[in-house]
Chain A
Amino acid sequence: MKNIQVIKYSTDEKHTKLLNFMRTWAKRKQDRQEQVWKDYEEGKYDETIKKLREKKETKYV
């Protein structure tokens, strides 16, 4: 396989199905980003961020 494969527009049914899959995938990705921001606002990352800052402090002591 070449390192880059380009699939151009076609009216083939497979192309349509693949495009639909890609759209769903993109939407899922967007939803995941929204969920991460929601979790952040709810403080679900507080503990992890605290650990990361402690690691940073230890590194520079």
Chain B
Amino acid sequence: MYEFEAESNTKYTFETDSQITYEVTFSPMEYIFDDENSLKSNIYELSLELVTKLKVLPPKDEKIEMTIAQIVRHFFQNEPLNFAVFHVSNIDKKVISRSRLFSNWFEKHNNDFLERFEKIIEDKSEIFYISLILRTDNSLKSEIIDFFENWIDDTNATK
């Protein structure tokens, strides 16, 4: 695993042996809810950014996934009620392979501390993948799952 720098428990940076830097962020996503929603302060978007601009794909490196797993654990360790949504981009039309990669990574490193739910939204020519991650022992679990299941109805996404 690589050493990482944590900034206010929501922004993490690490550098690989190949000197490629990554950033993992948990951005508040309260804007999708109405003011009264009680889950508003607990929702975050998990994202992974490549800080170093590369011309070729970065080399396969198992320590990267181990580091990300540790960062995700670190985030949830301190905030048991938080939950994160992860959105796989369709920019390069590789949604399915990216979502599969994410699922495999999650199963490999999770150890039952976290739980994951997925939503795949298909249109004629587009596919979007969203994953919900929360602690197995999150006391708001039923409300969160209900929100995720009814995302279409319950959020500002459709207003």
**A interface vs B, CB < 8 Å?**
1, 3-9, 14-15, 17-19, 21-23, 25-26, 29-30, 32-33, 36-37, 40-41, 45, 48-49, 51-53, 55-56, 59
For A26, the closest partner residue in chain B by CB is: B89
* B137 in the interface (beta carbon within 8 A): no
Bound state CA distance, A40 and B53, in angstroms?
Answer: 9
Q: Cβ of B118 and Cβ of A17 under 8 Å apart? A: no
A4: which of B4, B90, B118, B157 is its contact (CB, 8 Å)?
A: B118
Q: Cβ of A33 and Cβ of B50 under 8 Å apart? A: yes
Residues from chain A with Cβ under 8 Å of B117 in the complex:
1, 3-5
Q: Cβ of A45 and Cβ of B120 under 8 Å apart? A: no
Q: A9 with B122: in contact, given A26-B128, A51-B5, A52-B3 (CB under 8 Å)? A: yes
A19: which of B5, B49, B118, B126 is its contact (CB, 8 Å)?
A: B126
One digit per residue, 1 when the CB lies within 8 angstroms of any chain A CB and 0 when it does not, for chain B 36-66 equals 0000000000010111110000000000000
Residues from chain B with Cβ under 8 Å of A8 in the complex:
122
For A30, the closest partner residue in chain B by CB is: B91
The size of the chain B interface, using a CB distance under 8 A, is 38
For B4, the closest partner residue in chain A by CB is: A52
Q: Cβ of B13 and Cβ of A30 under 8 Å apart? A: no
Bound state CA distance, A3 and B52, in angstroms?
Answer: 34
Shortest distance between the CB of B29 and any CB in chain A (Å): 10
Bound state CA distance, A23 and B158, in angstroms?
Answer: 13
Q: Cβ of A7 and Cβ of B119 under 8 Å apart? A: yes
Shortest distance between the CB of B58 and any CB in chain A (Å): 14
Bound state CA distance, A8 and B116, in angstroms?
Answer: 21
Q: Cβ of B21 and Cβ of A32 under 8 Å apart? A: no
Residues from chain B with Cβ under 8 Å of A53 in the complex:
15
Q: Cβ of A18 and Cβ of B15 under 8 Å apart? A: no
Q: Cβ of B128 and Cβ of A48 under 8 Å apart? A: no
Residues from chain B with Cβ under 8 Å of A14 in the complex:
152-153, 158
Q: Cβ of A19 and Cβ of B89 under 8 Å apart? A: no
Q: Cβ of B3 and Cβ of A59 under 8 Å apart? A: yes
